[in-house]
Amino acid sequence: MNKHLYNVGAILKGLSITLRFMFQRKPTIQYPSVRKQHAPRFHGLHELRRYEDGKERCIGCELCSSACPANAITVIGAENAPDDRRSPGERYAARYEIDELRCIFCGMCEEACPTDAIVLTPRFEMSDFRRGSFIYAKDRLLVPPTGGVGAPPDGRPGGIPADLGGVAETKSTTDVEHGYDATYNGALLKTHRKGLTG
């Protein structure tokens, strides 16, 4: 009998808990209309950067490809033609493809890159209906000439400090508060969504 009374008490206690939860604030973020601030060093979609003069940073050295633990990167380098120099060095990336379905977004490519050409942006909305569209080639990875240079990856807040050999200074704290957008304006994804490359 005592046990049964105990059970009734337990039910009432449970009811009081659910009733209390009903009036609590909900932690839900209404995602498409309200967006959460990502961490400053969030690893998202890659981009290939340029120098101020518009030349591609990538020199086709394939270090990113060999550093990639997921074998997601394919680079085929080519010699720069004297009359059409794509990059300041001898070589440039004739083809540069990342399979974003293989990519584990670890950022090893970014660390391996000697010229800071490949950088992970905080952009993460990459969903599509075809597997083929997840192979991002230069048409979608390379920043357009008008896209600016962007902040160097080590310059992100929390990056490698200068005394440890880091390159740039940290960006201002307001960038941290408003989320750090290490990329040029987000138009590229939309305009190049249909671009399938072989």
Q: What angle do CA 83, 88, 99 make, to 5 degrees?
A: 105
C-beta of residue 72 within 8 angstroms of C-beta of residue 103: yes
- Select from 14-22, 45-53, 130-138, 143-151 the region that touches other proteins (CB under 8 A): 14-22
- Select from 8-16, 43-51, 86-94, 137-145 the region that touches other proteins (CB under 8 A): 8-16
Q: Output 29 or 81, the one with its CB closest to other proteins.
A: 29
* Of the candidate residues 5, 21, 127, 165, the single one contacting other proteins (CB under 8 A): 21
Tokens of 29: 């973020």
24 binds other proteins (CB under 8 A): yes
* Of the candidate residues 17, 101, 104, 162, the single one contacting other proteins (CB under 8 A): 17
Q: How far is the CB of 123 from other proteins (least distance, A)?
A: 24
- Select from 25-33, 40-48, 60-68, 131-139 the region that touches other proteins (CB under 8 A): 25-33
Distance of CA 100 to the CA centre of its chain: 11
Provide the 10 A C-beta neighbour count for residue 175. Answer: 16
CA distance 59 to 90: 7
Q: How far is the CB of 18 from other proteins (least distance, A)?
A: 4
Label residues 30-59 b or e (16+ Cβ within 10 Å = b).
Answer: eeeeeeeeeebebbbbbbbbbeeeebbbbb
Point out which residues bind other proteins (CB under 8 A): 11, 14-15, 17-19, 21-24, 26-28, 30
